[in-house]
Amino acid sequence: MIVDLPDTTTSQVSKTLVKIREDGGVVALGRVLTLVIATTPDAEEEAIEAANDASREHPMRVIVVSTEPGTEQGEARLDAEIRVGGDAGASEVIVLRARGDAALDQESLVMGLLLPDAPVVTWWPGIAPDVPGTSPLGRIASRRITDASAQPDPQAALLTLEQHYTPGDADFAWTRLTLWRAQLAAVLDQPPYEPVTAVRVTGSIDSPSTTLLAAWLQEQLGAKTTCILAGLEHGSRGIHGVELERASGVIELVRDVPGVATLRQPGQPLHDVALPRRSLRDCLADELRRLDPDELYGEVITSGLRLLRERDEGVHV
């Protein structure tokens, strides 16, 4: 069910939510968190769809603050939409479309709609503030999720994340590495147990995940690490491959085909490994599984990236 509330107030939205629950029996009981999504009108449906899918694993209230850049001036107006039942997955979705002065005070827009005594997570699926932790919607959240790959300059966005990191920050560029990190860890957990002497990571120039993977390997293995970012053949995006050099030979995990990587190890047959690019829903659900700071991400974004630069092994072409 979708209820439209044109030219309204947050107080009226809250009252309408209560009436919907009383009339239809839709309740907020069992909601484990409030997810605040800061987005633009053209991107809100994709974000809502991902949140609805993730809500089946994490029942929550979703508050979408949708603003069009350049509309902060002029008369204040708030149009709202409430989605419950089949239109909201296992969540309640409140869409707030603000213009004029109403768009300038986003914190006040959502404060009266937050679930009581439940953690708040703020997600910017598109352009994010330079310092999420001090932004109006970031201040009210225990977790703040950004996506470096959605920024105009993804590699520069990593530097900004490093400079302004606050515990509780998270980024989908790191979340997308889960399968790669698990596979590489599994390979190194097998004999022969030799130290890695050199690492080479390749990926597309617009892939901050490639840089974070190199930073993680640099920090964990302490080996000479080279990160090569370039325009790859066939328009491939994201991480292309990893090479780990040991005394017994080179281990290669290379993704030449979308979703499938080839694992080459000395003295062993080739193996095909499923390494698909993680969907928006998968990344969001993954980040919502933990509401405490991701300490490993914090180490990589602040220490790992610095080590990669200081050892002058990162190569951008």
3-state secondary structure 67-107: CCCCCCCCCCEEEEEEECHHHCCCCEEEEEEEEHHHHCCHH
The Cα-based distances of 300 to 117, 207, 215, 307 in angstroms read 31, 16, 6, 9
User: 231-276 pLDDT, tens per residue?
Assistant: 655 445 799 999 999 999 999 999 999 999 999 999 999 999 999 9
H helices of 190-304, in order, are 208-221, 280-288, 295-299
Per domain, the residue ranges of the chain are 2-146, 178-279+311-316
Is the confidence at residue 160, as pLDDT, over 60? yes
Q: How far is CA 89 from CA 19, 60, 79, 86, 193, in A?
A: 20, 10, 22, 6, 47
What proportion of the chain, given as a percentage, has pLDDT over 90?
A: 79
Which residue in this structure is represented by tokens 């902060």?
72
Strands 249-257, 239-246: pairing kind: antiparallel
pLDDT per position as a tens digit, 60-102: 999 999 998 776 667 889 999 999 887 667 679 999 999 988 8
> 124-140 pLDDT, tens per residue?
999 999 999 999 999 99
CA gap 305, 162 in Å, rounded = 8
Q: For the chain, how many helices (H) and strands (E)? A: 10, 15
Mean pLDDT confidence for 107-121: 95
Q: What is the pTM of this model?
A: 0.92
Query: d(Cα 171, Cα 148) in Å, to the nearest integer?
Result: 7
What is the rounded CA–CA span in Å between residue 82 and residue 94? 5
| Residue 112 CB-half CA count within 13 A | 14
pLDDT at 173: 98
Q: Mapping DSSP to helix (H, G, I), strand (E, B) and coil, where does residue 254 land? A: strand
